[in-house]
Structure 1
Amino acid sequence: MSDFGKSLEISASGMRAQSSRLRMVSENLANVDTPGYRRKMSSFEQVFDDSGETALVRKGRTHLDQSELPKIYDPSHVLAGSDGYFEGSNVNLMIEIADAREAQRSYDANLKMFEQARKMSTALLDILRR
């Protein structure tokens, strides 16, 4: 595979990973008020293509945030116990918004690299055709 092809593949793997991350953040945001919901988190891992030369990135295994769920006092809530408390969600809105912004910016950076490699490849083909 050419160097242009490798750079396209690396950028595409970064975009796929950030897209998966953004999907997970949106799930967390959708469940910010769901009682008992635990925040989903994941990391990225490096993988190599078939040739073993090109290091790609992908979203790693998803795990749940094991921090304590907040206790919310609302005796009228369906899930409230005899003491009037129920477990809320451990999703922090500010953290999720920051993660979404970071994922979007990383996606955009990978997209710019993809477009630049494509333009360079097209320009090289134009030069070779002359």
Structure 2
Amino acid sequence: MNDLSKSLEVSSSGLRAQAARLRHLSENISNADTPGYRRKMISFEAAMSDRSGVAEVSPGRVRLDRTELTRIHDPSHPLADETGHFDSSNVDLLIELADAREAQRSYEANLKMFEQSRKMSSGLMDLLRR
């Protein structure tokens, strides 16, 4: 396997990892108003490819954020206890949007690397045909 193929494999693993991160971030954002919802967090792990022996990044286990759930006083809410409180989610939209922007930028960087490697490989094939 040549270096251009390895760079394609590395960048595609980054694309998959950031896509998984964006999927969990979008779940968090969509459930920000769901009572009792805990924010999902994903970490990344370095892994060796079985096929090529190239170091790749892969999404790790999904963990739930264990910070306190926000207590809201709303006696008319169906989930309110006898004191009129219920547990809201622990999703902070500002943090989620910042994380989504970071993941998007990382995804775009991996995509640019993938496109550059593909162009270089195509250029090399054109040179070899001459």
TM-score bracket, shorter-length normalisation: over 0.9
TM-score (ref. length: structure 2): 0.98
Structure 1 residues 44-77: Cα deviation after superposition (integer angstroms, max 9, x where no partner): 0000011563100011000100001010000010
Written as runs of structure 1 = structure 2, the 5 A alignment for 1:24-103 is 24-50=24-50, 53-103=53-103
Per-residue deviation, residues 55-105 of structure 1 (Å, max 9, x unmatched): 000110001000010100000100000000000000000000001100100
d(CA) in 2 for partners of 1:56 and 1:78?
47
In 1, distance between residues paired with 2:84 and 2:22? Answer: 35
**Structure 1 letter corresponding to 2:46:** Q
Matched with 1:8 is 8
Alpha-carbon separation, structure 1, partners of 2:41 and 2:49: 25
Deviations 1:16-63 (A, max 9, x none): 000000000000000000000000001000000115631000110001
Letter in 2 for 1:68: E
SS in 1 for 2:114: helix
Q: Is the contact between residue 18 and residue 106 of structure 2 (CA under 8 Å) also seen in structure 1?
A: yes
Letter matched to residue 72 of structure 2: I
Question: Does 2:23 match 1:23?
Answer: yes
Distance 1:44 1:52 in 2: 20
Runs of 4+ aligned residues of structure 1 deviating over 6 Å after TM superposition are: none
Q: How big is the alpha-carbon RMSD for the aligned residues of Structure 1 and Structure 2?
A: 0.9
What is the DSSP-based 3-state SS (H/G/I as helix, E as strand, rest coil) of the residue aligned with 1:72? strand
Provide the residue aligned with 1:126 in structure 2.
Answer: 126
Name the % identity: 63
CA distance in structure 1 between the aligned counterparts of 2:70 and 2:27, rounded to whole angstroms: 19
